[in-house]
Amino acid sequence: MAKTKKRAKKKSSRRTKAAVPKYVVVTAKNYGNKLKGIKIYYEGSKPGGLRPDGTINLGKNVLEILTKKFGKKFRWIVSEEESSIETRYNIARVKTSRRLLQKMSSEQIDRNRDIKHDIINRTFSTVYPSHFTAPVTSTYAPGTLANTLSADIVPKLSADDRDALNKFLPDFIAAESISSVNLLKAKAQIESLKELALELEEAIKAEHGESWWQTYVRSKILIIQQGYIKAIEKMNISIGNTKFPDFSLVTHDNYLDILEIKKPSTDILKPDNSRGNFFFDTEISKAVIQVENYISNVTKHGDTVRSYILDNHKLDLKVVRPRGIILAGSASQFTEQKQKDDFRLLSQGLKNVTIVTYDELLTRLKNYIEVLDEFSKKMPVPTARGSREKGTVEGGEQRLVPVTALGE
């Protein structure tokens, strides 16, 4: 009985002894007072690089990062295989495997070697210029860009930074696979269009005059409405008193659209109180007549217009009866269903002219962005340059979504 108790006691003491965590207390002066006294725990045998004063390669850096993240409420454990973080009793138990430590150490050695070589080369080129020349660029440490590049740094870029990026990007794009380039283009286009949509939305709310809107739309319409390839300012054609459009657009299939630009605040409808209906406001009626006259004149003198555009813009157009588009007003003016219904009836009654409101233009742009965004997610995964890729067309270009003009 006594022997059994002794054996049980011995086993119990062995278990207690085995359960005691193994650690080294940091006493190394180069770790600083802030890290002094922290315990570095380990599992299994003591790591070969862990010294009695707590010094271990990258140890100081790891403890500084963990202290910054968890304060004093953490325990760093060098494990044999596991890398994990588990919080118990409000203490973060950070396990780092020996293999992971070795991997970080190897990367540090590679970077240190490159940086030291760079420093020596630059110094020697200054002191011994006849024997050493300065390296063209500093040695790049892999992973630096991945840790630095984000949208947050864009406002902080200096003129030199931007110049360096502009010089670097063409070579980078040329070195990438076709699908990578298309994906890069798509993402850049989406971001630009999102900024434009926000800009247009804010402009619609502001009280800008008609001349401001004419200048703005003329400068942005090819981006806002992707179905056009060319904007043509006033045609300088002299045929008696015949008037030609101030502003026209060439569609992607080489037809001509005539665009008349009014303000977002332009009234579209007026009430006929005697009959309970709505009719086009005077400003819209004038615009319709003007555009109809432009269409008639261009159609009548189609050969002259075609020659003028070919000579001045190098475009061979199909000058068949053009479409007329009036950009004006906002559908938010229609506060009752009767207004919406009458606007639809009046618009359908126009044979050659389409009225597009500013909020419709903005909605089209936002819808296009959504579709473009969705299609960009479905693009082929970038592969190595020269490999066969799905979804590309001859010349490497890939049109993500079909484009339309305003009247379509």
Relative to beta strand 353-356, strand 74-79 is unpaired
Residue 402 or residue 24, greater confidence = 24
Residue 373 has pLDDT above 90, yes or no: no
**What is residue 264's predicted lDDT score, i.e. its pLDDT?**
94
Q: What is the pTM of this model?
A: 0.53
Name the pLDDT band for 20 (thresholds 50, 70, 90): low
Residue 305, classified by CB atoms within 10 Å of its CB into exposed (0-12), middle (13-18) or buried (19+), is buried
Please provide the DSSP assignment of 66-81 as one string. HHHHHTT-EEEEEESS
**What is residue 400's predicted lDDT score, i.e. its pLDDT?**
42
**What is residue 380's predicted lDDT score, i.e. its pLDDT?**
55
C-beta separation of 356 from 325 below 8 A: yes
3-state secondary structure 166-187: HHHHHHHHHHCCHHHHHHHHHH
Rg of the chain's alpha carbons, rounded to an integer? 36
CA atoms within 13 A on the CB side of 267: 9
**What is residue 386's predicted lDDT score, i.e. its pLDDT?**
42
C-beta separation of 66 from 49 below 8 A: no
Residue closest to 145 by CA, chosen among 160, 163, 165: 165
C-beta separation of 374 from 225 below 8 A: no
Mean pLDDT within 44-49 = 88
Which H or E run includes 115? helix 98-127
Average model confidence (pLDDT) across the chain: 80
Q: How far is CA 195 from CA 38, 205, 365, 407, in A?
A: 50, 16, 11, 24
pLDDT tens across 78-118, in order?
998 888 999 989 999 999 998 888 888 888 877 777 777 77
Residue 398 has pLDDT above 50, yes or no: no
CA atoms within 13 A on the CB side of 4: 1
CA–CA separation, 28 and 51 (whole Å) = 9
Residue 124 or residue 183, greater confidence = 124
**What is residue 162's predicted lDDT score, i.e. its pLDDT?**
83
**What is residue 357's predicted lDDT score, i.e. its pLDDT?**
93
**What is residue 407's predicted lDDT score, i.e. its pLDDT?**
62
Name the pLDDT band for 387 (thresholds 50, 70, 90): very low
Please provide the DSSP assignment of 337-352 as one string. HHHHHHHHHHHHT-SS
CA–CA separation, 289 and 90 (whole Å) = 77
Residue 183 has pLDDT above 70, yes or no: no
Residue 262 has pLDDT above 90, yes or no: yes
Q: How far is CA 385 from CA 116, 214, 249, in A?
A: 33, 45, 38
C-beta separation of 267 from 329 below 8 A: yes
**What is residue 143's predicted lDDT score, i.e. its pLDDT?**
67
pLDDT tens across 129-166, in order?
887 776 655 556 666 777 777 777 888 888 888 888 88
Name the pLDDT band for 168 (thresholds 50, 70, 90): confident
**What is residue 319's predicted lDDT score, i.e. its pLDDT?**
66
pLDDT tens across 324-353, in order?
999 999 988 999 999 999 999 999 999 889
Q: Lowest mean pLDDT: which of 5-14, 130-139, 191-200, 312-321?
A: 5-14
**What is residue 178's predicted lDDT score, i.e. its pLDDT?**
56
